[in-house]
Amino acid sequence: MWSEPPAIAAYRLDRATTSSSAPVPVLLSTAATRARSGYCCASSNTVYTAGGPTGEAFRIDPQTGAFAGGEPLQLLEFVDQNGQQDDGGTMDFGGLRHGAHSADLSPDGKLLYVADMSVAAHNSFKHPLLSPMGQG
């Protein structure tokens, strides 16, 4: 969700009312992030965000699919103490040139991989909630 202030959103897709209708998205909840998170992925119990200088991990309510509690479980940092550098160029927003540029879970669901464009590397994060699907 590219909003101000930055946030992510959880939606449910309701079934179409007719065979020619598309599913209808229904907003469940939002959670504030520290920067616009252009990349998200999820395990059975957690949503992970990444974008530019920061990322977060948020718990998912297993009954509703909404964010549980609203506060991040873990904060992730992708730039050094100097912060994100912006030279004003058109490609200098979010994670396009500096910091996080992806968010992907390992096949076993135990690690979060985040590409870092500023150093041409991948970061790996382990979190107590990162567990195989269904074993949250």
Task: Extract the tokens encoding 105.
Answer: 């879970």
With 0.95 as the threshold, say if the pTM is over it: no
Tens digits of residue pLDDT in 109-133: 888 888 876 665 566 666 555 433 3
Nearest to 94 by CA among 31, 51, 41, 56: 51
Residue indicated by tokens 């506060």: 71
Tens digits of residue pLDDT in 35-91: 888 889 998 889 999 887 888 999 999 899 999 987 899 888 877 665 555 555 544
Distances (CA, A) of 135 to 44, 68, 74, 110, 128: 8, 17, 19, 11, 12
Distances (CA, A) of 56 to 8, 23, 75, 114, 124: 10, 29, 5, 12, 14
